[in-house]
Amino acid sequence: MKHKAEQRWWQAKKTQLMRKTIFILTTFVILVSCNNSEKTNTTNGKQAIDQIAETTKIQSLIIELKNLQQTITSNDKEKIVGIFEFPISDESFGIYIDDQLFNEQLKSNGNKITRAMFLENFNSISESIWLDQLKNLFYNITIDSLAYKETLEYDAYINTEPCFYSYQIELDKDIITLRMNMNSNRSYQSKILSEDGIPENSSEICEHNLWWIFKFDGRKLHLESISGAG
């Protein structure tokens, strides 16, 4: 009888222990599940906030680019000069014009262009920095498309012209590049040579590039440099 009683006692203890173990494991699983759920919700919430912030930033950038477009296409030099922060460094801005007085002033100013110099030589400087082509860039590219695409492009190809332009807006984090490329029309057929005796669509005549680089601080665009090649 004593032996059977001990067996019943040990069986009851085993059952009790099993129930406790199941309870502990169940509680652990629930806690882990809740913790993971909270982490998932937190992660999803952060992602949603980050997405909203990025969307707001892009929309602000688009507004700023449209303001820039209005300034450039206004043809008002007093407004256009406001894009630049003076004095302009010759190292960061590739502004070259064939004017002796201008170049003498540039040298005496330590290779920096003042606001007065810019306004006095506005037409020549506009040609040097391809202001008309920048207008064409804005005319041919829909800025709103930056909301879902980081690079926008347009080729202004005309098959009857020896050269053509292509335009790009490139967004890389806070850096915005407005790029204008002059290209050779390889399909162009002409017997006319240039003054130097080379074809009208040669790379020496047609292939030149220029780009404006801006930095966006979340509210305003700041012109960092103007560079060219070709």
**Which tens digit of pLDDT belongs to each residue from 205-223?**
899 999 999 999 999 999 9
Query: Are the CB atoms for 181 and 165 separated by under 8 Å?
Result: yes
Grouping H, G, I as helix, E, B as strand and the rest as coil, residue 195 is: coil
- Decide if 118 is inside a domain: yes
pLDDT at 2: 43
- Decide if 40 is inside a domain: no
The residues pairing with 151 across neighbouring beta strands, listed in sequence order, are: 170
Dihedral sign computed on CA atoms, order 83, 85, 90, 93: negative
CA-based nearest residue to 172, from 154, 150, 152, 153: 150
Cα separation, 141 vs 164, in Å, equals 16
Grouping H, G, I as helix, E, B as strand and the rest as coil, residue 47 is: helix
- Decide if 134 is inside a domain: no
pLDDT at 14: 47
The count of structural domains within the chain is: 1
- Decide if 39 is inside a domain: no
The conformation of residue 199, written as its DSSP 8-state character, comes to B
pLDDT at 203: 86
Query: Are the CB atoms for 210 and 129 separated by under 8 Å?
Result: yes
- Decide if 113 is inside a domain: yes
Cα separation, 156 vs 172, in Å, equals 24
- Decide if 1 is inside a domain: no
- Decide if 7 is inside a domain: no
Query: Are the CB atoms for 62 and 142 separated by under 8 Å?
Result: no
Domain that holds residue 107: 77-129
Query: Are the CB atoms for 192 and 160 separated by under 8 Å?
Result: no
User: What is the maximum span of the chain, computed from C-alpha positions, in angstroms?
Assistant: 125
Kindly report the CA angle at 208 between 199 and 213, in degrees rounded to 5? 170
Q: What is the pLDDT along the chain (230 residues), one digit of tens a residue?
A: 544 444 554 455 445 555 554 555 455 545 555 566 555 555 666 666 656 667 889 999 999 999 999 999 999 999 999 999 999 988 899 888 999 999 999 999 999 999 999 999 999 999 999 999 999 999 999 999 999 999 999 999 988 899 999 999 999 999 999 999 999 998 888 767 766 778 888 888 899 999 999 999 999 999 999 999 87
Neighbour tally for 80: CB within 10 Å: 20
What digits encode the pLDDT tens for the residues 80-106?
999 999 999 888 998 889 999 999 999
Angle at which helix 2-73 crosses helix 131-140, to 10 degrees, equals: 130
Cis before 87? omega within 30: yes
Enumerate residues 6+ apart whose C-beta is below 8 A from 161: 185, 188
Q: The pTM is what?
A: 0.76
- Decide if 99 is inside a domain: yes
Element (H, E) at 182: strand 175-184
Element (H, E) at 134: helix 131-140
